[in-house]
Structure 1
Amino acid sequence: MPLLEIRNLTVEFTTAAGPFRAVDGVDATVDQGDVLAIVGESGSGKSVSMLAMMGLLPWTATITADRMSFDGRDLRNLGARERRKVIGRDMAMIFQEPMSSLNPCFTVGFQIKEALRQHLDLSRAERHTRALELLDLVGIPDPETRLKAFPHQLSGGMSQRVMIAMALSCNPRLLIADEPTTALDVTIQAQILDLLSDLQRDTGMALILITHDMGVVAETAQRVQVQYAGQKVEEQPVRSLFQSPHHPYTAALLSALPERATERRLPTIPGVVPGQFDRPQGCLFSPRCAFADDTCRKVDPPVQGEDMGFARCHYPIATPAKEATS
């Protein structure tokens, strides 16, 4: 049984201009110890789909799903009290902006110990000891002093490490890292990614990595789920995806990587991800796709089989013959 299973997840927001569908029929499956990367441009519904699963969206969001279960427990029918027993303990999230996610009014120590107080039956002394262990685990020097610091007294990389420590405080079975290296310099990015990989390997927890950086995906993930305009358009093991993408959007993302550029000018994808008022008929990628025809522009694309990476496309890119027979 999968640790996390999501089927046909849809999220609609009520706005003054009318409903807006941010997530459209997304599926996801994560096993214990799995590392899944969710990639795509901003506006692809990556973060919203995970926040919906955790019950962290505002009241303006309407969430529907055929199935949304964690460790066999149906998340759709959980009450607020029961959900709080799962979120933060068995399932935790590292949010995108550590400087805005940490409460500026409380010390780092208070915020870490609060998570421990809510979910674990520990004494005050045990919570203090555990907080020190967590800061040491994520590589923060002089943890005793850092526990007394306020968030504004920490650097961006240090704040991100505190967020990771809070997320790991109760030994979660599933960790969701939402753009964990955003706004960090390259050296700190590498340190944070190495830290997450080491922790995942040492604890055996499942990891969902939300990112738009394909380099991060190549170094960290086992499987890759590509999203576009709220839909899942492809899913493959990381090596297979980089060798033979089947959806034109995935191929365009990979061709835009600097290390893959064959010309002096870096390839780009024309246009932008459709929003509330410019959502096209048929395939949502058709206005930007070099291979689109009238069928693509009028008819919703089917989801292909596993051999084609579950590509949501009328004309998926076939695997080259030399790779298919090797």
Structure 2
Amino acid sequence: MSLLTIRNLSVEFATSSGGFRAVDGVDVEVDEREILAIVGESGSGKSVSMLATMGLLPWTAKITADEMSFAGHDLRSLSGPARRRLIGKDMAMIFQEPMSSLNPCFTVGFQIKEALRQHLKLDREGRKRRAVELLDLVGIPEPERRLAAFPHQLSGGMNQRVMIAMAIACNPRLLIADEPTTALDVTIQAQILDLLKDLQQETGMALILITHDMGVVAETAERVSVQYAGQKVEENAVEALFDTPHHHYTAALLAALPERATERRLPTIPGVVPGQFDRPQGCLFSPRCARADDRCRQVDPPVQPAALGLARCHYPLHAPQEAQAVEVAR
């Protein structure tokens, strides 16, 4: 049985001019001990879909789903107290920007121990021992002394490690890491990713990694879900996705990797992810796709079978010729 199952998740934000659908019919499934990567450009709805799962969106967000369950709990109908017992203990999240997520008014030790006090009911000495253990686990030197440090006294990499320590404090069954290497230099990025992989293997937790870096995906994940403009456009195992992408957007992302470039000029994807006022009819990627035709621009694309990576596309790449002929005939 899957640890986390989400079916047909949609998130719509109320605005002065109506509503904006930031997530549109997304499915997510994660098994125990699995590493799933969710990739896509900024504005693809990656973070919003996971914040909706955690129940951390503002009241202006309207969340609907056919199913949203975690370890047998229906997340759609949880009461406030029940959700607070679950979130932070069995489900935890590393937020994108540690300097804006950590409270500047409290020491990092206080913030780590607060989670332990809330969920594990440890006494004062027990909380301190566990906090020191956590800081040591995430590779922070002199952990006992660092408990008294404020966020502004630590580097960006150190604060990211503190965020990880807070997230894993109660040994969660599922950890969601939202762009955990943003704004860090390359050497620190590698250290953070290695740390997350080691923790996942040691504790057996499932890990959802939200990123736009395909290199990170190749090094870390087992399965990849590609999102674009709030929709999931492809999902496959890492090797299969890198070897034979089926959606044109996925292929364009991979082509933009420097190590795959065959010319001096790095390929790019023209245009931007559509927003509230420029959302096209038909396939949402059609304004940026070199192979789009009138059908793509007018008709919503179907979701292809699993053999074609669940690609949301009229003309998936690497499809059998006879299947493409049937599609064109339609």
Determine if the TM-score, normalized by the shorter chain, exceeds 0.5.
yes
Partner residue in 1 for 2:301: 301
Q: AA paired with 1:73?
A: H
Q: Determine the C-alpha separation between the residues in 2 that align with 1:288 and 1:111.
A: 44
Q: Determine the C-alpha separation between the residues in 1 that align with 2:275 and 2:183.
A: 25
1:262 corresponds to 2:262: yes
* Alpha-carbon shift at residue 172 of structure 1 (Å): 0.1
Q: Determine the C-alpha separation between the residues in 2 that align with 1:216 and 1:33.
A: 18
Partner residue in 1 for 2:135: 135
Partner residue in 2 for 1:5: 5
Partner residue in 2 for 1:159: 159
CA contact (8 A) 1:39 1:46 kept: yes
Q: CA RMSD in A?
A: 0.9
Higher mean Cα deviation, 41-50 or 10-19? Answer: 10-19
* Alpha-carbon shift at residue 320 of structure 1 (Å): 8.6
Q: Where does structure 1 lack aligned partners over 5 or more consecutive residues?
A: 322-326
Q: AA paired with 2:279?
A: R
Q: Determine the C-alpha separation between the residues in 1 that align with 2:144 and 2:265.
A: 51
Q: Determine the C-alpha separation between the residues in 1 that align with 2:275 and 2:227.
A: 14
Cα displacement string for residues 165-206 of structure 1 (whole angstroms, at most 9, x for unaligned residues) = 000000000000000000000010000000000000111100
Q: Determine the C-alpha separation between the residues in 1 that align with 2:220 and 2:122.
A: 34
Q: How do 1:114-263 residues align onto structure 2 when only pairs under 5 Å count?
A: 114-263=114-263
**TM-score (ref. length: structure 1):** 0.98
Partner residue in 2 for 1:103: 103
Secondary structure at the counterpart of residue 144 of structure 1: helix
Q: Determine the C-alpha separation between the residues in 1 that align with 2:34 and 2:65.
A: 22
* Alpha-carbon shift at residue 121 of structure 1 (Å): 2.2
Q: Determine the C-alpha separation between the residues in 2 that align with 1:283 and 1:198.
A: 39
Structure 2 CA distance for partners of 1:250 and 1:269, relative to 1, 3 Å: same
CA contact (8 A) 1:244 1:319 kept: no
**TM-score (ref. length: structure 2):** 0.96
Secondary structure at the counterpart of residue 201 of structure 1: helix
Cα displacement string for residues 246-284 of structure 1 (whole angstroms, at most 9, x for unaligned residues) = 000000000010100001111010110000000000000
Q: Determine the C-alpha separation between the residues in 2 that align with 1:122 and 1:72.
A: 27
Secondary structure at the counterpart of residue 23 of structure 2: strand
Partner residue in 2 for 1:73: 73
Identity %: 80
* Alpha-carbon shift at residue 319 of structure 1 (Å): 5.5
* Alpha-carbon shift at residue 318 of structure 1 (Å): 1.3
Secondary structure at the counterpart of residue 93 of structure 1: strand
Q: AA paired with 1:125?
A: E
CA contact (8 A) 1:223 1:238 kept: yes
Runs of 4+ in 1 over 3 A off after TM superposition: none
Cα displacement string for residues 299-321 of structure 1 (whole angstroms, at most 9, x for unaligned residues) = 10000001000000000001699
Q: Where does structure 2 lack aligned partners over 5 or more consecutive residues?
A: 322-330
CA contact (8 A) 1:35 1:208 kept: yes
Higher mean Cα deviation, 244-253 or 312-321? Answer: 312-321
Q: Determine the C-alpha separation between the residues in 1 that align with 2:207 and 2:319.
A: 29
Q: AA paired with 1:211?
A: T
Secondary structure at the counterpart of residue 76 of structure 1: coil
